[in-house]
Amino acid sequence: MDVKGKKAIVFGGTSGIGLATSIRLAALGAEVIAISRNPEKAGDVPPGITLKKCDVLDREAMQALFADCAPFDILISAATGGARAVGPFLEMDMDGYKGSFDKLWGYANVVRFGTEHMSEDGSIVLVSGAPARKSKPGQVAIGSVGGAVEALVRAVAPEIAPRRLNVVAPGTIDTPMVAAEGDSRKAIYNKATANNLIPRAGTADEVAQGIVFMVENDFVTGTTIDVDGGWLLS
């Protein structure tokens, strides 16, 4: 797919990985609609990006937004859906564990209600995470949700062909989700990536590169690409 002149919808598109993806697509000539619950946090965005507000868990609002933006060619979701539970499973608050799956429900809504408004050669990309296949201590909820996202992609891709559906699985990425600053921030990421083959945090733009590859390559569907610094091999 040549994205120049195409219309792209990016949920979670105003921060972190989603914003980096929006910027990359716009730089390639796509018309980008970047969506989140708090679009103002994006600040000033480059030309070619329009900001809109919507919650991926609000099905009626999503259906109205898709109808308003239709037709479009590219659909991406990096929206987290909300907070995610961490810690040992046998000590976990089960409401927190259940709530972690808001990410899955949000992605399911994006695919369910967005696909019908896409072009026949459209491309959808979701974002899971390395814990889906190699969960570290305290990541049971994150790993469970990521695994469900990847299973959703493999199950739905055959149903919506010739439209393509893929997933990118990041490792530890330096994004605004970590609130710490300065030396404290560096210490968090250094500890998290110390055993990686590439011992540093990835950047949002490095993940965005993987997402754009999935969009542009017409011979890839139902597939997961890892952008994880060697997480799975460490």
Q: What is the pLDDT of residues 63-102, one digit of tens each?
A: 999 999 999 999 999 998 778 899 999 999 999 999 999 9
Contact indicator for 84, 177 with CB cutoff of 8 Å: no
CA angle (84 as vertex; 39, 16 as ends), nearest 5 = 35
* Residues 68, 90: Cα–Cα separation, whole Å: 45
pLDDT tens figures, 7-34: 999 999 999 999 999 999 999 999 999 9
Phi first, then psi: give them for residue 179, nearest 5 degrees: -85, -20
Contact indicator for 25, 1 with CB cutoff of 8 Å: no
Tokens of 78: 């990096």
Domains of the chain: 7-226 (3.40.50.720)
This prediction has a pTM of 0.94
Provide the total of helices (H) and of strands (E) in the chain, helices listed first. Answer: 7, 9
Tokens of 124: 């959808």
